[in-house]
A = this chain, B = another copy of it.
Amino acid sequence: MKVAIMGFGVVGSGVGKILLKNAESIAKKTGEKIEVGHILDLRDFPDSEFKCFTKDFNDILNDAEVETAVEVMGGVTPAYDFTKRLLSAGKNVVTSNKELVATHGTELFEIARKNGVNYMFEASVGGGIPVIKPLVSCLAANEITEISGILNGTTNYILTQMIKNGRSFDEALRGAQQNGYAEKNPSADVDGIDTCRKIAILASLAFGKYVDCTRIKTRGISGVTLEDVKYTDRLGYVIKLIGCARRENGGVYASVSPMLLPKSDPLAGIDDVFNGVKINGSFVGDVMFYGRGAGKLPTASAVVADIIDILENRGKDLKMSWTDSEDGYLITEDETPAKYYLRVSGGSAPADAVSIGKDGEYAYITPALIEAEAKQYAEKLEEEKNMQVIRQFKVLQ
């Protein structure tokens, strides 16, 4: 099978490397060789082992022998246009581009279906960790009821540094940048945007209908301080950036925010740049998938697994897709009660409050409240009891 790689950055060059290095074992497994026919990139790579570089997308589009294209360029432009044209021309597309899948997935699946090909995206969530396929295929006997995950390695690294080494958010962020885990402009990670795209993809797939990531309430980790980390620890919890989605009243509730996890939760022990996705199925209960959520070769290995899947299932709808959703399907206010972490100053502390020795400040866990009640609860403390609410995070149940 002849494939093309579009974008020869970190992931693209990793895909090239795996296809070269594992050529024989893949051929043995599948009974067919995978050949890289074109690599599209505007830069020059004079020292590369590959000699099939092009700067012209049409070289790929017009090559009738190219069955599958790997889109690892990232971003929406021009990846969206390229992907549409490739699928329309009857070529499979494999991607790691979470932004594109989360934004235009619904349309791209439809084009793929109409043209008898597949648009595959295992690498878009959780890097090399198998998540997309196990969710669709291995858990097929279950109704999925809830998904929650640590889906971004950069923010998990920063929080781990704060929790384990007592570093401030700013220090930890600088460390992440020095280690190459965070971009110069870290907003997509730190503000939860990356996590939001990933939970939108997982929720769309698990529950079958499109969840629009731009409408998911998203809160990053820049408001988490070392004090919160200390209070949290004393209360018996760990603070993590969690993307979560749940069936609720016929629709789906989804959110991204720092949340408190009981130390016994399997997600609570996931540290550093590792990711974890916890899925609740109606029969199986909780299962969790864990591993490196990013990086050149892990992500590339997920791309190559998708290529192999296409190779072994030519002409078959692999059903990694979702359909459009109606208005009101995405529920933006959580109607299931949850406990909250409340950090306040003033007033009189309840019996189970903890202190870290800061003037008049304490933190405690509220009874279970729905989101609207939680807002009122905090307002009441401020208005009626003259207290100041410093922080309020939800507890993952």
Contacts and interface: CB of A to CB of B under 8 A. Distances in A.
A22 B143 contact: yes
Given A284-B129, A291-B286, A301 B139 contact: yes
A140 B142 CA distance: 25
B133 A305 contact: no
Given A25-B143, A266-B269, A269-B269, A137 B305 contact: yes
A309 B137 contact: yes
Given A269-B266, A285-B292, A290-B288, A138 B143 contact: no
A18 B141 CA distance: 7
Given A129-B284, A288-B290, A288-B291, 14 more contacts: A18-B283, A29-B319, A128-B287, A129-B287, A130-B287, A134-B138, A137-B305, A138-B305, A141-B308, A142-B301, A266-B270, A283-B300, A288-B289, A290-B290
Nearest to A304: B141
Interface in A243-279: 264, 266, 269-271, 274
A24 to B, nearest CB: 11
A245 B388 CA distance: 56
A297 interface: yes
Contacts of A288: 288-291
Interface in A179-221: none
Interface of A: 14, 18, 22, 25-26, 29, 122, 127-130, 133-134, 137-143, 264, 266, 269-271, 274, 281, 283-292, 295, 297-298, 300-305, 308-309, 319
A287 B285 contact: no
Given A130-B139, A134-B134, A271 B264 contact: yes
28 contacts: A18-B141, A22-B141, A29-B319, A127-B284, A128-B287, A130-B130, A133-B138, A134-B134, A137-B309, A138-B302, A138-B305, A139-B301, A139-B305, A140-B305, A141-B300, A141-B302, A142-B301, A266-B269, A266-B270, A266-B290, A284-B292, A284-B297, A285-B292, A285-B295, A285-B298, A286-B292, A287-B292, A288-B288
